[in-house]
Amino acid sequence: MKPIKQELPDRRKFLYGLGSSIGAIAFSNLLAAENTLTSLDVPKLQPQPMLTAKAKSCIFLTMEGGPSHIDTFDPKSKLTELHLKKFERTGQQFSAMSQGNRYFVQSPFSSRKVGKSGADISSPFVHLPNVADDICWYRGCQADSVDHPTAMYHLNTGNKFGGDPAIGSWVTYGLGTLNQNLPSFVVLPEVAYPQGGAGNWSNGFLPSNLQGTPLRSVGSPILDLYPPDYINRSHQRQSLDLLRFFNHQHQQQNKNHDELSARMESYELAFRMQMEVPDIIDLDQESDATKQLYGIDQTHSNNFGRKCLLARRLVEQGVRFVQIYSGGWDSHDYLERAHGSLIRSIDQPIAGLITDLKQRGMLDETLIVWSGEFGRSPDNGIRGGGIAYGRDHNAEAMPIWLAGGGVKAGHIVGQTDDIGEKAVEVVHPMKDLHVTLLRLLGLDDNKLTYFHGGRFKQLSQTGGTVIDELIG
Closest C-alpha to 69, from 435, 471, 419: 419
The per-residue pLDDT for range 353-365, each reduced to its tens digit, is 999 999 999 999 9
The per-residue pLDDT for range 137-168, each reduced to its tens digit, is 999 999 999 999 999 999 999 999 999 999 99
So what's the pLDDT on residue 21? 43
The per-residue pLDDT for range 239-285, each reduced to its tens digit, is 666 666 766 776 676 665 555 565 556 556 655 665 666 777 889 99
How does residue 51 score in pLDDT terms, banded at 50, 70 and 90?
confident
Tell me the mean pLDDT in the region 163-188: 93
Tell me the mean pLDDT in the region 45-63: 85
The region of weakest confidence among 323-337, 373-387, 431-445 is 373-387
344, containing H or E segment: helix 335-359
Q: Percent of the chain having pLDDT more than 70?
A: 73
Residue 308, classed as helix, strand or coil, is helix
Contacts of 348 (CB under 8 A, 6+ apart): 126, 127, 294, 295, 298, 301, 305
Tell me the mean pLDDT in the region 312-330: 96
Task: Please report the beta strands in 299-414, taking only residues with DSSP state E, as ranges in sequence order.
Answer: 321-326, 366-371, 375-376, 379-380, 393-394, 400-403, 411-413
So what's the pLDDT on residue 263? 58
365 CA to centre of own chain: 17
Q: How far apart are CA 92 and CA 142, in angstroms?
A: 13
Which DSSP category does 69 fall into? S
Strand partners, 368: 59, 403
So what's the pLDDT on residue 261? 62
Please give the C-alpha separations between residue 468 and each of 273, 366, 437, 440, in angstroms, as whole numbers.
39, 19, 11, 10
Q: How far apart are CA 271 and CA 267, in angstroms?
A: 6
Sort strands 428-429 and 141-142 into parallel, antiparallel or unpaired.
parallel
Give the best-scoring range by mean pLDDT among 90-99, 375-384, 412-421. Answer: 412-421
How does residue 324 score in pLDDT terms, banded at 50, 70 and 90?
very high
How does residue 181 score in pLDDT terms, banded at 50, 70 and 90?
confident
How does residue 89 score in pLDDT terms, banded at 50, 70 and 90?
low
Q: How far apart are CA 158 and CA 170, in angstroms?
A: 11
Closest C-alpha to 151, from 398, 338, 463, 343: 398
Tell me the mean pLDDT in the region 421-437: 98
So what's the pLDDT on residue 267? 55
DSSP-derived secondary structure for 349-365? HHHHHHHHHHHTT-GGG
So what's the pLDDT on residue 241? 66
CATH match of 57-224+259-470 with 3.40.50:
no
Q: How far apart are CA 403 and CA 293, in angstroms?
A: 18
| 78 has pLDDT over 90 | yes
Q: How far apart are CA 418 and CA 423, in angstroms?
A: 10
Exposure string of 173-182, with b = 16+ CB inside 10 Å and e = fewer, is bbbbbbbbbb
Assess contact for 117 and 412: CB atoms under 8 A.
Answer: yes
Tell me the mean pLDDT in the region 5-21: 44
0.85 surpassed by pTM: no
* Boundaries of every domain in the chain: 57-224+259-470
Q: How far apart are CA 416 and CA 400, in angstroms?
A: 12
The per-residue pLDDT for range 187-218, each reduced to its tens digit, is 999 988 999 999 999 999 998 889 998 886 55
| 22 has pLDDT over 90 | no
Q: For all residues of the chain together, what is the average pLDDT?
A: 84
Closest C-alpha to 415, from 402, 428, 403, 406: 428
Residue 122, classed as helix, strand or coil, is strand
Q: How far apart are CA 84 and CA 442, in angstroms?
A: 48
Strand partners, 184: none
